[in-house]
Amino acid sequence: MRESDVRGHLDGLVLAALAVGAAHGYEIIQRIRDRSVGAFDLAEGSVYPVLHRLEASGALTARWEAVNGRRRKVYEITQPGRTQLTSERTRWRDLRTSMDRALGGATA
Amino acid sequence: MRESDVRGHLDGLVLAALAVGAAHGYEIIQRIRDRSVGAFDLAEGSVYPVLHRLEASGALTARWEAVNGRRRKVYEITQPGRTQLTSERTRWRDLRTSMDRALGGATA
DNA sequence: GGGGTATACCTAGACTGTCGAGGTATGAGG
DNA sequence: CCTCATACCTCGACAGTCTAGGTATACCCC
C-alpha cells in the first residue's frame, strides 16, 4: 500500500482517530496504524502539520501534558471537528461509490 | 465531489474506460464521466498527460484517425495495460478496505 | 556515566500529480 | 463569418504528503 494513497483523506483519518477519545500526536499515528490493521503507517512529518492545521481551524483543541517528565501535546476533537468528520465520511462514501462504478471489474 | 479526489487513481480510471474498447481522448473523458454517473468530470489537462504516460509505458497503443477531416488519436489497451488495470483494481480494493476500517462511522 | 533505543515534538524543502488557463485547428449551424 | 462543439496539446501553479533533518527526555544495560 502506497502511503500517499490517503492523500485528501488524512484529515478524516485523524479526526476519526480522535473521535474515540483524546490522544497525543504519536498516539494518533499508532491509532491510525492499528485501526487500518497496519495499512496506514504514517510519517510524523505528514501528521504533525495536519494536527496544527486542524487546531488552527478549530476542529481540535490541544493542551500540553507532562507525563514522567516527557511533554505531550494532547488533542481533543471539538464539535466543529465532529461536524467535519461527518462530512469527511460522506465525502469518502461518495468517492467510494463513484470509484466502484468507474473502475468496474467487480470491485463493487 | 472534488475532482482531485481521484489523485492516484487516474491511471486506473483511464485503463478501465479503455478496457471496454478503444477510444480517443475526448471520448475517454466522457466515458469516465458517464461511468461515474457525473461524479468525475475530468479536465483535459489532467487526462492527456496520463494518456501520454500510459502510452510511453506500453500500457496503451495509439493510432491517428481522421473522421470528417477531424483528427483523432485513438487509444487501445495492451496486455501489459490489462495487467496494470488488475493491480490498480486490487490497490483500490485494499485502500477501500483500510479506509473503511480507519474512518469508521458505519462506512463499511 | 555512556551508549543505544523508544518516546515525543517540530520544520523546511523536495516532490508528485492534478488543475487552470492558454493555445491550435476543423466542421456545422445560423 | 461568427460562434459553438469537437479534438488535440502544453506550461506553470498549486496543494498535500514525504524525506530528512533537528531537539529533548527516559529507560535499560553495561
Beta strand pairing call for B23-24 and B60-67: unpaired
Domain membership of residue A45 (yes or no) is yes
Q: Is residue A101 part of a domain?
A: no
Q: Which residue has the higher pLDDT, A50 or A108?
A: A50
- At residue B4, the pLDDT reads 67
- For the ranges A57-71, A73-87, A93-107, the maximum mean pLDDT occurs at A73-87
Mean pLDDT of A4-12: 90
Which pLDDT score, from 0 to 100, does residue B1 have? 66
What count of residues does chain B have? 108
pLDDT (tens digit, 9 = 90+) per residue, B72-97?
999 999 999 999 999 999 999 999 99
* pLDDT score for A17: 97
For residues B108 and A88, what is the distance between their CA atoms, to the nearest angstrom? 14
Which CATH number goes with the domain that contains B85? 1.10.10.10
Residue A2 pLDDT = 60
What is the per-residue pLDDT for A1? 64
Tell me the β-bridge partners of B24: B74
Q: For residue A100, tell me if it sits in a domain.
A: no
Which residues of chain B are modeled with pLDDT < 70? 1-4, 106-108
- Spatial CB neighbours of B95, under 8 Å, sequence gap ≥ 6: A1, A5, A39
> Whose CB is within 7 A of strand D?
A 3-4, 6-11, 42-46, 49-50, 68-70; B 24-27, 44-45, 48-49, 51-52, 67, 70-74
Q: Which domain holds residue A8?
A: 3-95
Q: Which residue is nearest nucleotide C17, judged by alpha carbon to C1' distance?
A: B7
Query: Chain-wide mean pLDDT for chain A?
Result: 92
In a domain, A102, yes or no: no
* Nucleotide whose C1' lies closest to the alpha carbon of residue A65: C8
User: Nearest C-alpha of chain B: how many angstroms from A68?
Assistant: 30
Domain total of chain B: 1
* Spatial separation of the C-alpha atoms in residues B66 and B92, rounded to whole Å: 36
Nucleotide nearest to A11 (CA to C1'): D16
Q: Is the pLDDT of residue A67 over 90?
A: no
In a domain, B69, yes or no: yes
A55 in a structural domain: yes
- What is the CA A86 to C1' D17 distance in angstroms? 23
Residue A71 lies in a domain: yes
A45 touches strand C (CB under 7 A): yes
CA of B101 to C1' of D26 (A): 34
Is B60 part of a structural domain of the chain? yes
